[in-house]
Chains A and B, each alone.
Chain A
């Protein structure tokens, strides 16, 4: 059971906008620790998608954006494309445990 809660799945048609939530607690996201997002295509290693206050690594399209509020964070994907079909994970930290936390992952299906 993951400490950060994500919906198991989301879906959308090409061109649409979808959001993926990541809910934590006052010990992690709510304590001010940054939330990072990763995309994992089938059979491959995770890839950094969003880090810190919504920054994108070089090569990540601006269709991907991240935000954080209170004890939650969200990943938004606009202009959905077939190639976006993947698993998405959020990551944060827990100050009280000194731990790195991952969400349970969300499978995005492009209809």
Chain B
């Protein structure tokens, strides 16, 4: 298994909702990442987990809450989002923290 999977593919949520994005990999990678990509913009790093511990938080608002329950799974909990948070959320993994990262297909999030 050499892929990173993300669910759901699409998500529409209101500003008062709570939802979660899920990312899974079974390549034995110990580093996992969340990126945000707005239309016609490059992906921007949000969080990095290394060995299930949060390693980097790129000054992301607290309405985004990451969680790494085990080495294969990475969640992003969403609460009280704003319409400007609508974007493609990409998950990636790598054997350890490094530049060669394997990306999932992303979750397209729309906040209404």
- Chain A partners chain B: no
Chain A residues within CB distance 8 Å of chain B:
none
Chain B residues within CB distance 8 Å of chain A:
none
